[in-house]
Structures are given as structure tokens and as C-alpha cells.
A and B are shown apart, each in its own frame.
Chain A
Amino acid sequence: MTTVISLLDQMGGTLMFLQKILRTIFFKKLKTHEIFEQIWKVTVDSFPTTAMAGFFVGAIMTVQFGLQLKEFGALGYLGALATSGTFREIGPLLIAFMLSGKVGAFTSAELGTMKVTEQIDAVRCLGADPLQEIIVPRFIGIIVASFFLLAAGLAMSVFGGILMGELFAGVNYEEYLRHVPLIVSPISILTGLVKCGTFALVLATICTYQGYTTFGGAKGVGRSVVTTAVTTMICIVVMDWMTSFIGDILLTIIRGYRP
């Protein structure tokens, strides 16, 4: 029972923190310089990680699809299917996992350190609003940077796929890319982008909240980082399902029939 209550407490705390952040974004002056600095920092820091992860994800997807499609002699569709699967689903999911490890844990460690060394209280003492000065730039920075990182990761996944298609399945790159426009529709890409945006929102909220509410020295920082990593991963998987589900319902309503 206590675990359930503490879980609800955490959820409520996170949502109220999100509300505070949104209020700060809309009603107070944005620190444009700091926001751009954060976007740049997050993108540069995580770029190699996401690019590498994307490359290998594309390669894995191609190997797996190649094995199955070989049985049906449908290797012509290999590129299209692997690309579509990566763009719609696996790419955003795995890149969000990477970001939750890299950016989420890093931000929460940074904010946690600031909190336990009382730097955040110092900012407040100087008459500035810590939400406006520290939290909001990171929040916006993570969300904007995640789109750039997603683009980089997906581009690398196509390269990985082409390479493995050539080496493993014997499909050259023209053949690999030929059916892509047939299967990857703008809606697919939009799905991926919406998913990525949702994951980034969840990630940014949780890591700033956990960092901001750290207490108890070095051990507390460690604890809040672990909590961030675990919570973001769970929330990302759940949000993945929810966006798929809600997107499906919305598309059905727009089209007027079930495909």
C-alpha cells in the first residue's frame, strides 16, 4: 500500500512540476541565450551516441527482416520494410532509450549536484527564479535537441541498413531504396516525430523533476540518477504504446474506416 501511495505521490509531483515549468515558459521571459546553449550542448554531447546506436539498430533490423523475407523470396521489399519499421517504431524507441541514459541521467545528475551543493538555493537567494534560469532552458533544450538527434539516428540507421543489405542479403543500395517511397509515407514519418516529441517531453519532465528534488549528499545524487533512468524507461515504453493506440484511433476517425 505504501508503495502505491509513494508511486502516486511521485506521479502527482512530476505532473505539478510540469505545470510549473509550463507556466514559467508561457508567462515569464525566456532566457533565449541559455536555451540555445543547452540545445547545442545536448546535441553535441549525445550526437556520437545516437548516431552509433542508430547505425547498429538499422543493421540489426535489416539482418532480422532479411532472414524472414528470404524464405518468401521477397528480398526486394527488404529495404522498404526495414526502413519503415525503423522510422515508425524502433528508431524513436531505441533513440529515446539512449537519450534517457545519456541526457536524462546526465541532467538529473547535474541538477542533483547543484541541489545538494546548494547552488540552486544560492540562485534563489540572488533574487532569480531557478525554474526560469536553470530548469526551463534544459527542458526546452532536451525537447528541441531530441528532434535533431532523431534525424541523425534515423539517417545513420538507413546507412547501417544499406551496408548490411549489401553484405548480408546481397541487396544493393538501389534495390534497397527502391521501394522505400512506396511504404514510408509522410504519415509514417509524422508518427515517428510525434513519438519522439512525446518521449522527449516525458524524459525532460522526469529528469528535471528528479534532479530538482534531490536530497542527501552524494548518495542522494546516485539515487536520483537511478530513479531517473528506471522511471524514464518505463514511461517511454508506456508512452510508446499510448501514442500508437491514440494515433490509431485518430487515423481511423480521420479516414472514417478501419484500414
Chain B
Amino acid sequence: MTDKLKHIAVTVSFLVLTVVISLLCLTHKSIAVSDSERRPLAQMPDYSADKLFSGNYFPGFESYTVDQFPLRDTFRSLKAFIHTKLLGRDDNNGYYQADGYLGKTDYPLNEESLSHAIDRIQFIREKYFGSGSHNIYYSVIPDKNYFLAESAGRPSMDYEKLTQTMENRLGSSMTYVDIFDALTIEDYYKTDTHWRQDRLENVVQTLGNAMGFQNKPEYTVRELYPFYGVYSGQSALPSKPESIYYLTNAVLENCAVYNTETGKTGPIYDLDRFDGQDPYEIFLSGSQAILTIQNPANTSGDRLILFRDSFGSSIAPLLVEAYSEVVLVDIRYVSSALLDRFLELTGEEDVLFLYSTLVLNNSSALK
């Protein structure tokens, strides 16, 4: 090719590419929510002269152009490919692949965040469980990085310091149940943050040993496919779909879940959620402020108050057989100062604070 032809080719290809993409940008219909990233996408900002002259209009417009870019997911995947395969970066926006699992670097230990979480736990203990004969426990769920990071030399938070700090501050008032050794990376979904309900037997046993119950019921494992976990879309790294598993039996099928916020009662597994934005919400319909699982098969009157994050949704059904009632409280959605408006306490409940390191290390949402 001669120099002249090259100049024509460069000029034409650039103009065609930019003009075509521009037209696609202009004609592209706005999308409200990104299914892969699981977040609302920026929309064209409302125009006003005030916004324009104060400099507040164009930042919104910029976000809109990025979020609504045609073939956004394809471009995100292309970026992840270039980033990790051509430029050799180990992670894409903090997400990485290791041993077939998608992980996310959560590093370093945010001591301020941990302290805030401990403050919330202490506040709840003192305000609601300071009197009476409650058995109070707490446990920490390691995130996937705990298992994946070290072997590949990736940075990971100081888990020992995290649990040690909690023990130092909470140790005298409640009992720590260490479940780190009851878990392996195989107990987590490959493409998601969460653990697999069908692989929590060891965790339930460890909790049972500490809390004084023995749950060994028979379950039927059910499978839903295809499941793309939260890391799959957010990382934009290539990943295969997997199955999501849930355990059921006659006892669980007879349980009723009462949602204090909506006043509605439903089943433990909300299978319609599988087709929603977050399929993990099949477990107790996802994170809700206060849920009460009523188990008619257990007439002992024993109650468990479980302070939890989204990991609690999948383990709670496995604890239910030991109790007449399991109350799940998510203080990301209800202020811990207002719980007495919604909770009636007998003074003899078992109390379990069960939080993942992901929430403890990013606890600003705990109210």
C-alpha cells in the first residue's frame, strides 16, 4: 500500500468509526438498569440553566454517555481482556480469576470500618440484650479472598487482626464461634460472593457445637441453572454459568417467613427471584430489614435472633430446625436504635451476630 492510500485508509477508517459510533450513541435507547453490573445506569440529566452555569450539568451528561454507551458490556469485556491478557494485569478493577473462581481484592483491613461494626454490635448487645439470660454469639464469615489471595501472592486483609480485634472488644460479653476452618473455597460459588448453602454442613455443625444444638436433618438438593454470580458481570472477566443450589425438606417447606416491613408472609425460597437481578435472592427473598421464620415443626418455643448480612439468608434455613422461630435482622436496612419497635424479646433468646468480612471491612451501611 502506498503512503497516499494509507493516509486515505487512516482518514476514512477514523471518520467511519467515530461517526458510526456517534450515531449509535445518539440513537441508542437508554437502559434503566445494568443486569450484569447490577446497578442503575445514569440517565440523561435534566437540563436547567442553573445546572449548566454552575457546572453541574456536564458531569451528569458525562456519566450518561459512559453508562449508556452502545454495546457497553462488550466494551467492558474487551477492556477486561486487554487489561488482563495483553497488559498482564492480575486483576480488573480489583476482580481477579484464580483456580476457576472469581475473587475480589478487599484490602487492606479497614480498622475504622471494623470499629464501627463492633460499636454497632456492642450497642445492640447493651441496649437489647443487656439483661435477661441470653446466649450471645458472634461469628465471622471469611470472603473468598481469604482462600484465594495468599496462594497467588495477592494482597489480602489481615484476617487474624480482624478476628483478634473483635475478640478483644467483644470477648467478655459474647462467645466467638470460629468458622474459618469449617470452610474451603469449594464452599463458595465460582462467580459470586456468597457461600453455597448445600456445602454449609460443617459451618452449621460448628455453630451447633458452640450454641448447643444438633441439626442433622436430611435435605433434598435442588438446582437452578444458569446462575451468573455478582462477580461475573461486575468483573467483566470471562466466566461460565454455574448452578445455584438450595436445600429443602418437609420442615422447611412448612415454614413461613413473615416480613415485618411489608407485613407479608411467604416461603423460605422465593424461586421467582432466580430470574431477577440477583438470583441469590431466592434465599429468603434477599436482604430484608426484619424477617421471621416460623417453624411449626419445632414447638420448644426457642428463638434465635440472627443479626446478619446476605450470607445469613442462605444459612438461616439450616438453623431453623433447632428453633421455633428465627428472626433475621439486617441493620443495613433498619436502624439498630429502633429495633425495639419491631422486636419483641422474651429475655431468653439465643443471639448470633453473623457477618462476612466484606461487610465488616465496609461497614458504613450498618446503622
Q: Do A and B actually bind?
A: no
A residues apposed to B, CB below 8 Å? none
B residues apposed to A, CB below 8 Å? none
